[in-house]
Amino acid sequence: MVKYLHSMIRVADPEATVAFFKLIGLEEVRRFDSEAGRFTLIFLAAPGQAGLAEVELTYNWPPEDGTAPEEYAGGRNFGHLAYRVENIYETCRKLAEAGHTIHRPPRDGHMAFVKSPDGISVELLQDGHLPPAEPWASMANTGSW
């Protein structure tokens, strides 16, 4: 069982981006602010498509020290594709055995990141929750995702 969830893009001006997508016909379906992580997630969908096919806007807040905010170039503003999987450990095992690097292992039994052969980040999310398990629980992140 695999279910497409969303595509993520990073944005510099979340309200301007929401306004742009509203012109296309998308609606804001939910928003989440993380004070600890210093980011905002805004999910958009076509009418009646919430939870089926969404666009996730990620706004990384400017640094607290007043330095310039992060800029995205060369496609870095496109974040990832996301898929819900039946068993994240089994899916990651198959990918690793096929020679793919698990860049963010599913240490928590819930989320992992891998890259396609073309370097596109793919987020895997467990349908429900699995308890942390080895070898995944002890694995470090590799590269970027």
Displacement of CA 83 from its chain's centroid (Å): 9
Q: Which of 54, 56, 123, 134 is catalytic?
A: 123
- Annotation marks residue 35 as catalytic: no
Rounded CA-CA distance 72/41 in Å is 17
Question: 121 CB contacts (<8 Å, ≥6 apart)?
Answer: 79, 80, 81, 103, 113, 114, 115, 145
Which residues are the active-site residues?
123
